[in-house]
Structure 1
Amino acid sequence: MPYRPDPRFVDLYELYTGPRSIAAELSQRKMDATADTPLLISTGSDLVLFPGRGREPVSVSFRLSTRGFKELTAVSHLGTAAAWVVEMQEAGMDGWQLWARRFIAQCEEVRAASTVSYWASEVTVEAWKGWEPKIVDVVDYACRTAESYLQAGLQDPSVFTYEQLRQRFLEPPKPGILPVAFNDVMVATFALTFLDIAHRMLTWLKSLELDWQTVMVMICGSSGRPTAGLTWATNNMCHMVWRASQRALKPEHLLISPHAPGLNLEMIKSGSDLRDLEKSYRTLWCKTRVTAEIGGRMFEGFPVFAPDIGQAPIIADPSQALSEMPRLQHPNDRFTAISRLRLVMEDPRQLLSNSVAEFIIDELSDNGLDPASVTIPCFTNTVYPAAQRAEAVAPECPTVGGLV
């Protein structure tokens, strides 16, 4: 005979935690008490504010739909793209030659498209104003160095090993092999991309004039990899919102809920009725907070829970193993900047943007949200070879740095 609990036990269980339980009633009363409290939702690509009492939400997008994101991210990816080709060649897989040629051809196309007028007049990112000529230099240099390494590997497959990838392209051990190591290019392009994102998000959050002592914040759904961004330390939106609040947001008022209902900007643009979705978010937030608040009162006299938003570790030893993101001490701390690149790729918990996010957020917050006052790692103080400035397709130039 199959086991079934006695209904009287089930009734007692449901009395506490079921749909008509005391927990459900207390959560509903918490919702009623916070019905006017703004609820800020962060998705994988948008920020949405529900002002409360059924008022229409307001929103801003910070990722795939933003200007310049795909352009600079595409350049950032050239370092890992070269590694993917190396992986295929070392593993004896067919097709690596085709992929190398495809990347070479596309890099040539990008160099032709990347002009000062394109960045200044078509992309027109406010946070990059004045930097457009140097961005052209970085893009041109990144593409030429990637092309040069890939061409060398096509001529001599022994070039496509991880040791050769590092020594010829990513981090040459001797000065003069490359004007700028490609690791620096990846840091610079990631940092430029996040400078724009952080500048727009922090400016928008400031314009809301929220009472950060009471505002309710939830980070919903997936951000980046399915395993990433599940804690305060691994989700840079937590730090973004906290700094936007001038550190007034209570950490316990921010919840990360990867399994919450989905929300995207198209739902808002289409005029969809989002009242049920807002109710779901508020129910989830209030139910979670009620349990936490009761726990604190029940067990007073025992150690209190304190969310960890403390200082990240400082590193100096290349042999040191890392379990958490190290702190970038200043914009010229390239050892830590590149160590962060490695960590975000090796640690499945990390968002890739975490490699530069915290530093850029702090720099903007400490400089009155003025992007011109931010020193961008591996970019501001790094000299890149000048690209040809012609607005037409530029003729081929000699290989950069004698890489081949």
Structure 2
Amino acid sequence: YCRECQDHGDRHYQYTQFRKYYTDYTVQEKVTIRIEHKPGELMEVDWAGTQPQYQDPGTGLFVKTSLFVAILPYSQIIYAEICEDQKLANWISAHNNAFRYLGGVTRAITPDNLKTGVTGADWYSPVIQRTYQEMAAYYGTVILPARPVRPRDKASVENGVKIISNRITVALRNKQFLSLEELQHACFEQLEKINHKPLKGKDRSRWDLFLSEEKDHLLPLCVKPYETAEWSTAKVQVNSHISFARHYYSVPYEYLQKQVDVRSTRQTVEIFYHQERIASHERLWGDQAYSTIKAHMPLNKQFYHDWDADRFLRWAKSYGSDTVKVLSSILDSSPVIQQTYKACLGIMSLANKYSAARLKKACELACKRSKSPTYRMVKDILLKEEDMQRPSVLTKTDNRPSAPRGHQRGAAYFGGGRHAE
């Protein structure tokens, strides 16, 4: 700096004066511009650091919870909810409840880069959690994550978290709660007090400002709240079904052996192949069961990728008549024959796992025990090695008197026999 001044024939500042002017410059450059938000534009969401707790009456232990906070920066209205944990299902449910509380949906949502909602934190191309993205699309809004390590991007929610956390902590610290519901009720009471209290320097509350200037700008609510969905993968089996949560759901037979995506809710199970939905079923609960759409099955006379009833029975003949009876029973056990193919393949696998001789014997025992033998019966016989046990030999009754044992006392001892005469 001094050299530049000398080159231009200018006088330079002394060190102390230069430092003062430079400090003033850096302070001025750090001044941030206040972002003017539009009504209905944005909702900022986050988990609070505060973890309210309740006492489990059964165990006497204290259970920590999570506090979800949402705020609309324009009106500063706050929504808060106590959740069991910070898992995805509660994250989505809290959003549903926030929208219902507000009576509408903002055009954008800004979460922190927490793993519940954002799986890849990147300013230019953040990766949004799939279910969270689905929820946003369902409501017609978008997810705009805050920049990593940029708290000013979500200053409103940080302030809202601080307000609600302090109020709840102070209001609830000397009270005992015995359930999540009790804790949530107390949280909601504090929330209402915050939203209806006049803002500092104004004669209106957050709620008044929201109703008069922001609510009409929100997107309308959907008829039903978004239902949390979980995604998983599965492989289409040779019986044209996928296995999901111990139940089986049919898929068009063109997709045999393909890897598919499964989207599940409490009501439905949907199957996708390359992002195209290829099947939809009502979700099954309870005991293991099949959900089969007949249109997914191949024509009766068409070979099912080289598997059909005739081929199973031809294979069974080489293992004896009882094995044929077992497979015939399995094939006849369902009106949709393809549902039985997996059990038939199970019988075939037992021959490889054990031996032909043991399978034949196990099928023989199964046929003796039941008119409708099943794969499970045959498998249990082999597991317990009942096919290897010899039949019990019945002992014949001997009519001869048994040999005397130990010391025998005669009738004379008791005053009987000839001595009694």
Tell me the TM-score range normalised by the shorter chain. Answer: under 0.3
Structure (1 or 2) with the greater helix fraction: 1
Report the TM-score when normalising by structure 1: 0.23
**Structure showing greater relative contact order (alpha-carbon pairs closer than 8 Å, 6 or more residues apart):** 1
Report the TM-score when normalising by structure 2: 0.22
